[in-house]
């Protein structure tokens, strides 16, 4: 199932990939769970589901993928809350 989800993600079909990653997650061995979570978060981010993606990446707290997850969290936060226009100076 992961292979199909990976294929959909690589073919710019993140909604289908997200479905398959969600199905694969409970069946994933512990060693693969963080990989599935990473790719699930990417699929969510690709769809603009920044809150969902942040929650997914937040589940990755240890191991080799935790640093990558932190970078993705920063990215989705920036997309969810883009900096607005600069505030104008108060009139004097």
Could you report the per-residue pLDDT of 9-48, keeping only the tens digit for each?
Answer: 999 999 999 999 999 999 999 889 999 999 999 999 999 9
pTM of the model: 0.86
Please state which architecture CATH assigns to domain 2-78: Alpha Horseshoe (1.25)
Length of the chain: 92
Q: How far is CA 58 from CA 9, 10, 55, in A?
A: 20, 23, 5
pLDDT in tens, 59-85: 999 888 999 999 999 999 999 887 755
Domain ranges of the chain: 2-78
């Amino acid at each position: 199932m992961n292979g199909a989800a990976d294929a959909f993600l690589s073919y710019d079909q993140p909604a289908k990939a997200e479905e398959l990653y969600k199905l694969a997650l409970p069946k994933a061995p512990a060693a693969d769970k963080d990989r599935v979570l990473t790719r699930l978060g990417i699929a969510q981010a690709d769809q603009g589901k920044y809150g969902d993606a942040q929650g997914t990446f937040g589940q990755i707290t240890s191991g080799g993928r935790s640093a990558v997850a932190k970078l993705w969290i920063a990215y989705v936060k920036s997309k969810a809350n883009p900096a607005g226009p600069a505030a104008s100076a108060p009139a004097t």
